[in-house]
């Protein structure tokens, strides 16, 4: 047992986060996202499940040890709502709150069209699937430096 680590972070999760470098992306998604098919394109190659965690809880745990990139304007990306690209879903608002709190500053979140988001997700280092029912609970987090 280690002190000071969030209990939601498994050994597999911590190992994967340690293996990531500055500028690597992490996809964190809800249960509806095609996590397995996207994960096979990533460096890690498989889904890491955070069973029992909704998006805010999972993001809070991850961002307790992983800094967001400060060298890019928008270190977080989200999927636009199909048919209503300017709409913010509750998942978007909750992730914004978690990211801002974790970083101690406002974090810019970039919105991508659905298929552009999928393409960006396939370039991620790894995929983390939460138990969140969504919808639109899919985010790409770019790792920064400590």
Residues designated catalytic: 22, 69, 118
Question: Which segments within 23-146 are labelled E, that is strand?
Answer: 25-29, 47-50, 76-79, 109-112, 126-130, 138-142
Tokens of 83: 């048919």
Cα(50)–Cα(62) distance, integer angstroms: 10
Please list the residues that pair with 130 across neighbouring strands.
50
- Contact yes or no for 55/95 (Cβ under 8 A): yes
Q: Is 84 exposed, middle or buried (0-12, 13-18, 19+ CB in 10 A)?
A: exposed
The answer to whether 47 touches 129, Cβ cutoff 8 Å, is: yes
């Amino acid at each position: 047992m280690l002190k000071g680590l969030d209990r939601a972070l498994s050994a597999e999760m911590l190992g994967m986060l340690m293996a990531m470098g500055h500028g690597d992306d992490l996809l964190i998604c809800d249960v509806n996202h095609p996590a397995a098919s996207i994960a096979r394109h990533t460096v890690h190659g498989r889904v890491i499940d955070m069973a029992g965690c909704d998006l805010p809880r999972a993001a809070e745990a991850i961002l307790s040890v992983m800094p967001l990139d400060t060298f890019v304007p928008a270190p977080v990306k989200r999927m636009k709502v199909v048919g209503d690209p300017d709409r913010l879903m509750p998942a978007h608002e909750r992730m914004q709150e978690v990211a801002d709190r974790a970083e101690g500053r406002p974090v810019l979140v970039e919105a991508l069209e659905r298929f552009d988001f999928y393409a960006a997700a396939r370039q991620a280092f790894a995929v983390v699937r939460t138990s969140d029912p969504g919808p639109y609970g899919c985010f790409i987090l770019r790792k920064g430096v400590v």
